[in-house]
Amino acid sequence: MRKPSLSAGQAPQLAGGDPRVHTTLQHLVALEGRARRFDFLPRQPVGSVLSGRRASRLRGRGLEFEEIRAYLPGDDPRSMDWRVTARTGSPHVRVTREERDRPALIVVDQRQAMFFGTRLNMKSVSAAELAALTAWRILAAGDRVGGLVLSDSGIEDQRPARSRGAVLRLLSLIAQRNAALSAEAPVVDDAPGMLNLALEQAARIVKHDWLVVILSDFDGADDETFHALSRLSRNNDLVLGLVFDPMAHELPAEGRLVVGNGRLQVELDLSARKVQQNLAETGGKRLRRLLAWQERLDAAILPITAAEETLPQVLRLFGSGRAPRGLSLPDDAMVKGDMS
């Protein structure tokens, strides 16, 4: 377990090439074979965070009207079209078919605030892994998938498509933004507002009955964020992947912590009661706000800690049984598929 000296929002000073600090496209592609035993469709295991009332809001792929025809023995009486039946004087049924897919949009946060980790992963790496698992699982279900990748400098998009190439292009964007994160990166004053810009862009893409998955630590979330999420959840299924580091909630009882914003730094004495209280309140405020929003938005929240492997957490959250801790995620898979 690593316990490096940290500055808030900065990386541990580890050897270059550490996959827990920066992920790679090869690593995200290798997760394809592991994206099983969980789903975003309405039928959920009892232990899933999407079960019960949450599952009732998951719309699945929906139904499209196909035709109205005369009733045949064996037809479901519930499909009877009573208006046509009354007009014609003979029983008719309404025939529907399942839509080919339910489009999904994954919003992935790779801002500098996500470049923080104290035990295992950087939050940015955990978010990238969760995005890859989600994208591969949705594609395997036969649905279109795309995404938005936000950084301090802008937002890049991959329009939803039902193809391996689309997923690879999305993962490539994520890997590129992840690789650009650095403890020495300059501070961007309007970076917290980038989350709201990404949500506005997402609202222009999705229509109705989409699955919208937002993976972030929700740095900079405010009332405008709530209203944007509310609009997205009105006609779509909304899942919030809250990526956090336990340092925000489990502070050591003693020692010193260097906190900075990239320009100024201050050393805090963790043995001081007032310092402990202020840090605990700051770390828990964001989580409490999101949990309060959960009921008002009727959205599902998936808490993902950067202190643990991502996949076992996903399996537990989706009620797929107890997955072994420390499950390895191989990096040796080759990138396959057309990315053009």
Which domains can be identified in the chain, with CATH numbers? 25-56+101-317 (3.40.50), 63-98 (no CATH)
pLDDT at position 101, please?
Answer: 64
Sequence-ordered alpha helix ranges (H) in the chain:
25-30, 53-57, 82-88, 123-140, 164-179, 194-205, 223-234, 273-297, 310-317
Sequence-ordered alpha helix ranges (H) in 75-122:
82-88
User: What digits encode the pLDDT tens for the residues 173-204?
Assistant: 999 999 999 887 776 666 678 999 999 999 99
pLDDT at position 47, please?
Answer: 52
- Locate 262 and state its tokens: 């990239």
Q: Which residue has the tokens 């020692």?
A: 255
Q: Which residue has the tokens 């950087």?
A: 122
Distance CA 314, CA 251 (A): 25
Number of H helices, E strands in the chain: 9, 10
Mean pLDDT, residues 196-225 taken together: 93
Backbone angles phi, psi at 143, to 5 degrees: -105, 160
Backbone angles phi, psi at 89, to 5 degrees: 80, 5
Question: For residues 309 and 326, is the Cβ–Cβ distance under 8 A?
Answer: yes
Q: Identify the DSSP state of 251.
A: -
How many C-beta neighbours within 10 Å does residue 9 have? 21
pLDDT at position 208, please?
Answer: 85
pTM: predicted TM-score of the whole model, two decimal places: 0.72
- Locate 75 and state its tokens: 């037809």
Sequence-ordered alpha helix ranges (H) in 77-163:
82-88, 123-140
The three-class DSSP label of residue 157 is strand
pLDDT at position 290, please?
Answer: 73
Distance CA 59, CA 42 (A): 6
Residues belonging to the chain: 340
- Locate 132 and state its tokens: 């890859």
Nearest C-alpha neighbor of 41 from the set 135, 141, 159, 165: 141
Query: Which has more pLDDT, 108 or 13?
Result: 108
pLDDT at position 336, please?
Answer: 42
Distance CA 5, CA 183 (A): 13
Question: For residues 198 and 148, is the Cβ–Cβ distance under 8 A?
Answer: yes
- Looking from the CA of 190 toward its CB, the CA atoms found within 13 Å total 6
Taking phi over 0 as left and psi of -120 to 50 as alpha, with beta for the rest, 62 belongs to left
Question: For residues 39 and 102, is the Cβ–Cβ distance under 8 A?
Answer: no
Q: Give the percent of the chain with pLDDT over 90.
A: 42
Question: For residues 163 and 136, is the Cβ–Cβ distance under 8 A?
Answer: no
User: What digits encode the pLDDT tens for the residues 117-126?
Assistant: 888 999 999 9
Q: Is the pLDDT score of 81 beyond 70?
A: yes
Distance CA 170, CA 155 (A): 12
Q: pLDDT band at residue 130, thresholds of 50, 70 and 90?
A: very high
Distance CA 255, CA 265 (A): 16
